[in-house]
């Protein structure tokens, strides 16, 4: 299998930036992985904040301990500011993932030509 394909598969299936590490490009790999990790941290923080809000409502008795009601609250879109940050981070993570795979493939093609 060609290095370009291996690097792209690493970036697609393992984590953004891993293909760059496979190609011995640690600086680019670290940058890409750092951006992806930052986006994941934002996504997880927003999710934990939402879960905490719902848990507080359950504890105070505002929301009954009913699975259907809780599911509705979880799936309901939250305030615009919160959902906007989550949406930006989600699309950012997706974009980094795609760009990392394409770039790993591009860099791998250069190494394929040398070999």
CA angle centred on 79, ends 95 and 77, rounded to 5°:
70
Measured between alpha carbons, how far is 22 from 1 in angstroms, rounded to an integer?
14
The pLDDT, as a whole number, for residue 86 is 85
* Structure confidence by residue, pLDDT tens digits, 56-94: 988 998 888 888 888 888 887 665 456 788 889 999 999
* Structure confidence by residue, pLDDT tens digits, 21-42: 999 999 999 999 999 999 999 9
pTM of the shown model: 0.81
The residue assigned the tokens 């509705």 is: 72
Domain of residue 108 covers 3-114
Question: How many structural domains compose the chain?
Answer: 1
Measured between alpha carbons, how far is 115 from 113 in angstroms, rounded to an integer?
5
């Amino acid at each position: 299998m060609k290095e370009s394909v291996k690097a792209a598969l690493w970036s697609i299936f393992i984590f953004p930036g891993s293909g760059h590490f496979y190609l011995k490009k640690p600086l680019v790999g670290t940058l890409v992985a750092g951006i992806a990790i930052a986006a994941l941290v934002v996504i997880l923080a927003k999710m934990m904040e939402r879960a905490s809000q719902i848990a507080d409502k359950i504890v105070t008795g505002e929301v009954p301990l009913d699975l259907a009601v809780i599911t509705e609250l979880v799936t309901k879109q939250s305030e615009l500011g919160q959902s906007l940050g989550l949406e930006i981070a989600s699309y950012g993570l997706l974009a980094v993932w795609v760009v990392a795979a394409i770039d790993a493939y591009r860099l791998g093609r250069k190494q394929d030509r040398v070999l």
